[in-house]
């Protein structure tokens, strides 16, 4: 039986539509701190707020900048640059904190600039670079940008908070 080009196209079309829908993506909250562009899964971010007054904690690890009051709770504030051994963040008037959560752990994290929410195809996430430093240990992967400066390092925020808590408690 000879079929017309239109009939052949219609038989093929549903298969292509299904394959286009089968490209899973994940949403990340992206931000910049220092020279790093980072992303954490959006389900780990509750809100973004201005960095307010911080109360330093005696004998706290250097990555824990102190605590701040937020909605009647005491919120520990982390410097990811210090935690990842990539420098240190400076609190400026335009500095933001995002409230990150994983299970029962909640912390404020310093962000110089909020880049927003980005949907990233799972197929575009490259594995973390080889190495055993603190940064790669807590990475889910990397999304390459058009330039090296636009590459986004995706963090395993749950593991990061768990490690930070262990380091803070063990002191």
Domain span at residue 89 reads: 30-169
The string of pLDDT tens digits covering residues 120-130 is 999 999 988 77
Instruction: Reduce the DSSP state of residue 160 to 3 states and report it.
Output: helix
CATH assignment of the domain containing 42: 2.40.50.180
The string of pLDDT tens digits covering residues 100-120 is 999 989 999 999 999 999 999
Nearest-angstrom CA–CA distance, 156 and 134: 12
Count of CB atoms situated within 10 Å of the CB of 46 = 13
Residue 22 lies inside a defined structural domain of this protein: no
Does pTM surpass 0.85? Answer: no
The DSSP call for residue 126 is B
Residue 142 lies inside a defined structural domain of this protein: yes
Residue 14 lies inside a defined structural domain of this protein: no
């Amino acid at each position: 039986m000879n079929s017309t080009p239109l009939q052949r196209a219609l038989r093929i079309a549903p298969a292509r539509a299904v394959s286009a829908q089968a490209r899973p993506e994940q949403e990340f909250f992206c931000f910049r701190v220092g020279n790093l562009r980072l992303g954490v899964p959006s389900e780990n971010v509750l809100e973004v707020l201005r960095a307010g007054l911080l109360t330093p904690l005696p004998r706290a690890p250097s990555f824990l900048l102190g605590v701040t009051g937020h909605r009647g709770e005491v919120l520990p504030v982390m410097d990811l640059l210090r935690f990842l051994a990539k420098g240190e963040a400076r609190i400026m008037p335009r500095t933001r904190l995002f409230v990150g959560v994983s299970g029962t752990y909640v912390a404020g994290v310093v962000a110089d600039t909020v880049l927003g929410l980005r949907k990233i195809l799972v197929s575009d996430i490259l594995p973390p670079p080889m190495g055993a430093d603190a940064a790669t240990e807590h990475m889910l992967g990397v999304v390459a940008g058009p330039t090296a400066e636009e590459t986004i390092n995706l963090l395993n925020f749950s593991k990061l908070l768990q490690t930070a808590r262990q380091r803070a408690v063990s002191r």
